[in-house]
Structure 1
Amino acid sequence: MAGNSDPLTPRAKLAVTAGKAVAAASRAAGRGSGSVIGGRVALKLDPDLLARLAQNLDVVLVSATNGKTTTTRLIAEALRAAGPVVSNALGANMPAGITSALAGGSDAKFGVIEVDEKYLAGVARDTDPKCIALLNLSRDQLDRAAETRMLAENWREGLAGSKAVVVANADDPLVVWAASSSPNVIWVAAGQMWKDDAWSCPSCGGVMQRPGDDWFCGECGFRRPTPSWALSGDHVLDPHGSAWPIHLQLPGRANKANAASSAAVAAVFGVPPQVALERMYQVQAVAGRYDVVQFQGRDLRLLLAKNPAGWLETFSLIDPPPTPVILSVNARSADGTDTSWLWDVDYTRLTGHPICVIGDRKLDLAVRLEVADQQFQVCEDLDQAIQLCPPGRIEVIANYTAFQDLRRRVGN
């Protein structure tokens, strides 16, 4: 039931008002969107506020290591065919940011919410979602997230017995194991490029067998479920076997996979695939990702890659050599302070590209590129890197805070 048929308590209203005031003050002081600090204040005043704000919404939660911000945006566009949507579109995906986003959507019918992997179980408890989309799990921020199987276990326990329809990637064994505790799962064959976190069976620890696109554990019989939705080239196959063309302005195979999962979610709410996929075409960029910007007389395409799986997908969509590439890596708290993941990325895929390296941890990256036998130049900053790049459009790949630094520098 949408709208304000069940008004917020006076305490909840005070919490929302105070949160918005703090957020506005933070924005005015130039400290970002203010959504996180605003949400923190609001939850201090009313710890049950997230549950209260969600109670009149049909909620979709989206969680994954990679692709959750983009998929959240695609689902939100699709569901607008069926009613107003409130969403944390800028990726503030922990409880404070989610609370802030929902506080701004009093007339919404749907809440489409990106959730950090570690907070999924708690946010699902608070928001009573109708649908949960689980896309992938891979190594990320090793200093804070420990290992992927522990996250999968956290999901599995947190979602056991959930009433939500779980839309899950059948090609990722960790996601399948996590989702299998739920009574109502829709499996999507969305693909999995990065397989290095799923060679051992999450159920028994045995060695996974991977013939072709299939997978199974030879020891306990845990195996890939039969999908009812699938990504097939440039089409989404629905449960009836109909093929619907994917037309996206976003590049790459990973975004087609995100669109396939999003179409399956939209169908849960009665939005047909054709309508959902047509609406997804509207999305040109997501929080600056994939944007082409003009800076210092050059076209720069800004690409975000935060972990080995993300870098692998990103390498697959850049223009071919000799397109110049600028790489920027930081290791601040929002990125994870451990840069050992750089050794898991196959940088030989950049052979033939002129490479410039910037960012707080440019020397860590330089050592890694040296070992991968790549030609590169270490630069002080973006401006110097652009001057050293040969003509043509430049692909700029950065991890999380490095990406935010770049956007500020280019005025995006």
Structure 2
Amino acid sequence: MPLRAKVASSVSRTAAALSRAAGRGDGSVIGGWIGLKIDPDLLAHLSAGRAIALVSGTNGKTTTTRLTSAAVGVLGRVATNSFGANMPSGHTSALAKAGSTPYAVLEVDEHYLAQVLESTEPHVVALLNLSRDQLDRAKEVAMMAQLWRAALVRHTNVRVVANADDPLVVWAATPPGDPARGINPPHVTWFSAGQRWHDDSWVCPECGSTIQRSGEQWWCTGCPLRRPEPNWVVEDEGVLDPTGAWHKVSLQLPGKVNLGNAATALAVAAEFGVRPVDAVSRLGIVTSVAGRYAQVDKDGRNIRLLLAKNPASWLEAFDMADEAPTLLSINARDPDGLDTSWLYDVDFAPLRGRQVLITGDRAYDLAVRLDVNDVPFQHVRTFDDALRSVPPGRLEVIANYTAFQDIRAELDRVI
């Protein structure tokens, strides 16, 4: 690297280490921020010479990145932003900290994908899904799909692993022109993991007509855009690869959604030449992802934390949660988005019949929503109050981003 980049990289590592030593955070942002101030091209310099995969989407980025890192790790050391700092400062910090590695797997905020594509020149990009998220400040999903598509058009040499079940993702991964000709472009590998949340993809992004669905199939009623034939498919408790071979996937992470994340990880790893039979066993070593899914025993309760930040992810969280007392925590701080109206897009009916507790800065917003949904609840002011309110045994905790971090702090960040 140029001398300026070497200095910037060294300062980045030092700043991150000082942040961790001072207990001010994990250093995954501040180090990269300072490094980029010294050398604005530092991310590009650190990316040079590495085979890089980028993972982007509204939901599942952090988990899929962790699983993909494990799978690609068959080949050698992998640099990754394992704490979920998914903007350029986080990528820069992760690569500087890792030193020289042949591979990198980076989670990328969907709004920054175009910028990070330019800086890193990746080998492969994984596109997971698009759904509404923080609409008080974030772009509408159709606009996000347009930005992705425009970025990928400028990088036709990049391999793309994309979700065949999401019409917005399929359109974004398809080159402009006749959708009928572009539905199976040679540089795209399709995976199918199912799509439970449909409320952001009823309108065709190509022509504006209605999207129709029948089982796993979907198609536009006004143009040739339709679900492509997937190369990787979740089937039963495993994954079918492009050769038709079935691989059993044994995960320590809950829910069918994580089986889909595992399928994506196998598809991305295959783009690096990793055989599924070699990668699949490594997926089972992942037990917790930045605190997500972790289980902690405290005061006779087995506490499991689930992160849910928008309607689509709350739907998946209900699928993962056991029939047990459940604590819901909602904040509306800057990282969460300030608008909580999205709560009315979540169907809380699956929680009926279990003990439900609520807390967080915006617990009263949640209280009104649960009352409308006929879900009885108890308001508690603190996490310790919640523990005292439930019997010994399992306690499921579902929280949005800063509420999740607050509860991790209550548990002394042991997860």
Give the TM-score band, short-chain normalised: over 0.9
Secondary structure at the counterpart of residue 157 of structure 1: helix
Once residues 288 and 70 of structure 1 are traced to their aligned partners in structure 2, the CA distance between those partners, rounded to angstroms, is 11
Partner of residue 131 from structure 1, selected from 115, 124, 127: 124
Task: Please report how far the alpha carbon of residue 274 of structure 1 lies from its aligned counterpart in structure 2 after TM superposition.
Answer: 1.4
Q: Please say if 1:150 is aligned against 2:151.
A: no
Q: Once superposed, which parts of structure 1, at least 4 consecutive aligned residues long, lie more than 4 Å away?
A: none
Residue 408 of structure 1 corresponds to 409
Q: Partner amino acid for 1:179?
A: A
Q: Please say if 1:187 is aligned against 2:181.
A: no
Q: Please say if 1:61 is aligned against 2:54.
A: yes
Once residues 203 and 106 of structure 2 are traced to their aligned partners in structure 1, the CA distance between those partners, rounded to angstroms, is 31
Q: Partner amino acid for 2:116?
A: V
Task: Please report how far the alpha carbon of residue 145 of structure 1 lies from its aligned counterpart in structure 2 after TM superposition.
Answer: 1.0
Q: Please say if 1:43 is aligned against 2:43.
A: no
Secondary structure at the counterpart of residue 111 of structure 1: strand
Q: Check conservation: 1:190, 1:230, Cα contact below 8 A.
A: yes
Q: Check conservation: 1:300, 1:393, Cα contact below 8 A.
A: yes
Name the TM-score, length of structure 2 as normaliser: 0.95
Q: Check conservation: 2:5, 2:39, Cα contact below 8 A.
A: yes
Residue 353 of structure 1 corresponds to 354
Q: Check conservation: 1:161, 1:183, Cα contact below 8 A.
A: no
Partner of residue 229 from structure 1, selected from 232, 240, 245: 232
Once residues 283 and 322 of structure 2 are traced to their aligned partners in structure 1, the CA distance between those partners, rounded to angstroms, is 23
Once residues 146 and 341 of structure 1 are traced to their aligned partners in structure 2, the CA distance between those partners, rounded to angstroms, is 15
Secondary structure at the counterpart of residue 210 of structure 1: strand
Q: Partner amino acid for 1:368?
A: R
Unaligned runs of 5+ in 1: 1-7
Q: Partner amino acid for 2:198?
A: K
Secondary structure at the counterpart of residue 408 of structure 1: helix
Deviations 1:371-401 (A, max 9, x none): 0001100111111111112342100001111
Task: Please report how far the alpha carbon of residue 205 of structure 1 lies from its aligned counterpart in structure 2 after TM superposition.
Answer: 1.1
Once residues 277 and 209 of structure 1 are traced to their aligned partners in structure 2, the CA distance between those partners, rounded to angstroms, is 34
Residue 3 of structure 1 corresponds to none
Residue 166 of structure 2 corresponds to 172
Partner of residue 197 from structure 1, selected from 189, 196, 200: 200
Once residues 128 and 122 of structure 2 are traced to their aligned partners in structure 1, the CA distance between those partners, rounded to angstroms, is 16
Once residues 153 and 365 of structure 2 are traced to their aligned partners in structure 1, the CA distance between those partners, rounded to angstroms, is 41
Deviations 1:107-165 (A, max 9, x none): 31101000000000110111000000111111111112131111111100011142111
Q: Please say if 1:378 is aligned against 2:372.
A: no
Q: In 2 relative to 1, CA 45–183 (structure 1 residues): closer, same or farther, beyond 3 Å? A: farther
Once residues 332 and 71 of structure 1 are traced to their aligned partners in structure 2, the CA distance between those partners, rounded to angstroms, is 25
Any residues of structure 2 matched to 1:6-85 within 5 Å, and which?
8-85=1-78
Partner of residue 247 from structure 2, selected from 244, 248, 255: 244
- Provide the alpha-carbon RMSD of the alignment: 1.1
Name the TM-score, length of structure 1 as normaliser: 0.96
Once residues 347 and 193 of structure 2 are traced to their aligned partners in structure 1, the CA distance between those partners, rounded to angstroms, is 22
Deviations 1:226-272 (A, max 9, x none): 11111112111111111110110111100000001111111111111
Once residues 151 and 90 of structure 1 are traced to their aligned partners in structure 2, the CA distance between those partners, rounded to angstroms, is 24
Unaligned runs of 5+ in 2: 176-184
Task: Please report how far the alpha carbon of residue 183 of structure 1 lies from its aligned counterpart in structure 2 after TM superposition.
Answer: 5.6
Once residues 27 and 228 of structure 1 are traced to their aligned partners in structure 2, the CA distance between those partners, rounded to angstroms, is 42
Q: Check conservation: 1:362, 1:378, Cα contact below 8 A.
A: yes
Q: Please say if 1:336 is aligned against 2:337.
A: yes
Once residues 259 and 244 of structure 1 are traced to their aligned partners in structure 2, the CA distance between those partners, rounded to angstroms, is 11
- Give aligned-pair identity as a percent: 55
Q: Partner amino acid for 1:174?
A: L
Q: Partner amino acid for 2:282?
A: R
Secondary structure at the counterpart of residue 144 of structure 1: coil
Partner of residue 268 from structure 1, selected from 266, 271, 275: 271
Residue 179 of structure 2 corresponds to none
